[in-house]
Structure 1
């Protein structure tokens, strides 16, 4: 049944699904176009009709991840309307659960930036752009929460986030990686003081 459903998908979607799974699990450099063609069951001509190059395919993979990440962020923060402190804490609780998932293999954007070091590479540009977007969204929450130094809190939380991505594959951080959530809560409470718990809007 799953194979039949896969066969009904457009070629572009089948290629992207296959590439996304392989890139995330095995790394971008380790996966060649021929492997993606073989696993997705499409012709080489079909792949190049949809993606002009491997970089083009990797960018599409990251762009889809960006959309998924934005949807995840919005879904988590929507549970705490008007409460930016609770929204920040919820993001790190959810992050802890994600890195506890058996399929977790780190952050695809961090991995892409680490693999592709050329500053002009469009994949690296996209990956770093996503990191700036995360920083901007964290900063907006820190400002809304009344942090005494939003820049500092934002930098600390993004560093914690990156550390969690790296440590999640190597360390046992407890059930649901509770250490991630509790570390974030300590930073947020320390920076926002009495502002936490007060809703805005």
Structure 2
């Protein structure tokens, strides 16, 4: 994400600063003062745009969800083969990582461990889960797989595992082998081939 500059609207600067800090350090570990300092805005300006930290967290997750969905949409638009479209979730992760600098795994998986029930940001965690599950089910059905629900659940398990491994790699030495997203895509392709037969 680009660094905040005074010429950008305050709301954009707050979202950019919050997005970087929440993703790098975690939501609970990031205080509002750190976000304000990075964004270069006053507390009054933040409260004019967001209902406190919880509102800022929800807006950060909404923004991330929108960017992720648009990235996946763009990758899907480039694919015509039904199996490639189903596996596009992994290609979209690669593109998202390249564009957003996504080195620490999934922001939604991380937020799910930090946000209490009833937090306004949970709406976007649910939206992310619904997008993944519904779209993978639909794309699996398009391939002719006999059980699209099972296919969606299997690919989602591989997707979550790859993103969790990325998060672990940010704090521990990498295990031997290739990139976890590449490996997950390869395993998914093999599973699809075996179950389409």
**Alignment TM-score, normalising by the size of structure 1:** 0.85
> Residue by residue, what CA displacement relative to the aligned partner does 1:45-71 show, whole Å, maximum 9, x if unpaired?
001001111111111111111111111
Three-state SS of the structure 2 residue aligned to 1:110 is helix
**Structure 2, gaps ≥5 residues long:** none
For 1:37 and 1:137, locate their aligned partners in 2 and report how far apart those are by CA, in whole Å: 37
| CA contact 1:37–1:44 (8 Å) conserved in 2 | yes
1:76 maps onto 2:80 in alignment: no
Deviations 1:88-109 (A, max 9, x none): 2233244357668964111111
Q: Which residues in structure 2 correspond to 1:12-91 (within 5 Å)?
A: 12-81=11-80, 83-91=81-89
Deviation, structure 1 residue 84: 2.2
Kindly report the root-mean-square deviation, in angstroms, between the aligned alpha carbons of the 2 structures.
Answer: 2.3
TM-score (normalizing by structure 2): 0.86
Change over 3 Å in CA distance of 1:98–1:167 after alignment to 2: farther
Greater C-alpha Rg = 1
CA separation of 1:133 and 1:98: change in aligned 2, threshold 3 A: closer
Aligned match of 1:182? 186
Query: Does residue 1:155 correspond to 2:153, yes or no?
Result: yes
Q: Tell me, which stretches of 5 or more residues in structure 1 are unaligned?
A: 194-201
Q: How far is 1:21 from its partner?
A: 0.3
| Closer/same/farther in 2, CA of residues 136 and 121 from structure 1, 3 Å limit | same
What number of residue pairs does the alignment pair up?
189
Deviation, 1:77, is: 1.2
